[in-house]
Amino acid sequence: MSVTKALCRIEEIPDGGAIEVGIVDECDGLRDSLMLTRQGDSVRAYRNVCPHAGRRLDWAPNQFLIEDGYVICTAHGAMFRLASGECVSGPCRGTGLTEVAVESHGDEVLLQAE
């Protein structure tokens, strides 16, 4: 059975940009941070963690360095494609961001959970 949780409205995510959304795991109460990105009507979500050193990707709360379809980790310069999460440059090249299942329903972005 699939459970959904509303994360934000699609308009809250700048087209070509990203926002940070915090979620709390209902089983263990731990907080996690997601980076939600939007390109047109397409929304993707990734854990807000660089796979190289485990640091957050936002350099300040809800502030991401995004250029030409890439998010850049300001700690070590790793570059990730917003469209796929793939690291194309930097110390974790060949790895990628951890994607989290979301879907758009009307004007809401919903977290998908099992």
Residue type at position 16? G
Q: Which pairs with CB-CB distance under 8 Å and at least 24 residues apart come from 9-14?
A: 9/107, 9/108, 9/109, 10/38, 10/41, 10/43, 10/104, 10/107, 10/108, 10/109, 11/107, 13/37, 13/38, 13/43, 13/109, 14/38
pLDDT, mean of each 10-residue run, the chain (114 residues): 76 95 74 92 94 91 94 93 95 94 91 76
Query: What was the pLDDT predicted at 23?
Result: 85
Domain region containing 109: 3-113
Domain count, the chain: 1
For residue 89, give the CATH number of its domain: 2.102.10.10
Query: What was the pLDDT predicted at 29?
Result: 64
pTM (two decimals): 0.89
Query: What was the pLDDT predicted at 53?
Result: 85
